Amino acid sequence: MSEIALAGVSKSFAIAHKAVHALAEVSLTLPKGGFYALIGPSGCGKSTLLRLIADILRPDAGSISIGGHPPAEARKRHEIGFVFQDASLLPWRSVLDNVRLPIEIAGRSVANPADPMQLIELVGLADFAHARPSQLSGGMQQRVSIARALALRPKVLLLDEPFGALDEITRQRMNLELLRIWQETGTTAVLVTHNISEAAFLADRVHVLAAHPGRIVAEIGVGLARPRTLALMRTNSFAQAQNALRDALFGEDGAAEEEAEIAAGQAPT
């Protein structure tokens, strides 16, 4: 449960000897315990932003802090959980051993790791604890990788389009599970997505990015009550939240540049 803060963060890559500005002067603050979404077209640098927070990449300029410390420190203290686009499980390890991997790596430096078996139950795979990843469907593999990301009770949980490769039905189910898990653990969650309804359904606040150079163009609070259920998706307030995101993404007479706040809609009926 750490606050994440970015101040003036820039990052460019050299692609074919040309500098491409993946991110320019990004500043944002994500208070602890919340659920945040980063949304934008491909190439807007949203995955880069997540990788900077996780210390997979280093910023060219600006500073990042997780709970007041640099990301490298948070990473070495095993405070970051990361869920990749592909489940990236180690194929020779069983489900249980994959979930146990972070605990093996941390050794005794993490005093109070989660019980891997409980995590596997949490993601609904108790019957598959000893299966190999190749024996699981894509959705099940991604659930294993979520369980693995939670093994060290991370203070921040970073998710990079975790359900992008899944079909719509599985994706909805996974989103519900993710919300339940997030609420049980109380971690600060940051989700990268290009799916408008997913962002509106999961997040407290959505940061909208634009490309060339990658930058944040809007911050939209989603005032929908929790716990959120599938019934919520049929309500007007959910439709309004989606519309606000759509306007920010595609521009509605330049309204995208302004900060929009959606009135906390009536509780889902």
Partner 1 sequence: MADGASLASRVPAARRAGGFDVARFARSAAPMVALALLFFLVWHLVVQAFAVPPYVMPSPIATLRTVATEWHGIAGAAAFTLRNAIAGLVVAFTIAILLAALFVTSDVATRAVLPLVIAIRTAPVLAIAPLLILMFGRGIGTSIAVVVIVSFFPTMVNAMRGFRASHRSALELMHVLGSSRLQIFRKVRLPFALPFIFTGLRSAATSAVLAAMLAEWLSGAPGLGTYILNAAAHSRANLLWAAVLVSMAMAMIMYSLSSQVERWLSDWRG
User: Contact positions toward partner 1, by CB under 8 A?
Assistant: 51, 54-56, 75-78, 80, 82, 84-86, 88, 90, 92-93, 101-102, 104-106, 152
Q: How far is the CB of 191 from partner 1 (least distance, A)?
A: 16
Residue 268 DSSP label: P
Q: Is the dihedral of CA 152, 107, 71, 84 positive or negative?
A: negative
Residue 220: CA atoms inside 13 Å, Cβ hemisphere, count? 33
| Distance from C-alpha of 197 to C-alpha of 254, rounded to nearest angstrom | 22
Residue placing its CB nearer to partner 1 in the complex, 11 or 51: 51
| Cβ nearer to partner 1, comparing 185 with 237 | 185
Question: Of 105, 108, 103, which is closest to residue 118 (Cα–Cα)?
Answer: 103
Please answer whether residues 26 and 6 qualify as being in contact, where contact means their C-beta atoms are separated by less than 8 angstroms: yes
Of the pair 76, 226, the CB lying nearest partner 1 is at: 76
Min CB(51)–partner 1 separation in Å: 8
**What's the min distance (Å) between Cβ of 101 and partner 1?**
7
- Closer to partner 1 by Cβ: residue 104 or 257: 104
CB of 143: closest distance to partner 1 in angstroms?
16
What does the chain come to in residues? 269
Shortest reach from residue 155's CB to partner 1, in Å: 13
Q: Output 56 or 117, the one with its CB closest to partner 1.
A: 56
Q: In which residue are the tokens 């007007």 written?
A: 236
Closer CB to partner 1, 95 or 220, in the complex: 95
To partner 1, the closest distance from the beta carbon of 246 in angstroms equals 31
Alpha carbon separation from 7 to 29, 33, 45, 150, 236 (Å, rounded): 8, 20, 16, 27, 36
End-to-end alpha-carbon separation of the chain, Å?
31
Residue-wise burial string across 66-85, b where 16 or more C-beta atoms lie within 10 A, e elsewhere: bbeeebeebbebbbbbbbbe
Q: How far apart are CA 34 and CA 155, in angstroms?
A: 11
Q: Are 128 and 147 in contact (CB under 8 A)?
A: no
What's the min distance (Å) between Cβ of 189 and partner 1? 15
| Smallest distance from partner 1 to CB 92, Å | 5
Whose Cβ is closer to partner 1: residue 101's or residue 256's? 101
Number of DSSP helices (H) and strands (E) in the chain, helices first: 8, 9
Closer by beta carbon to partner 1, 78 or else 171: 78
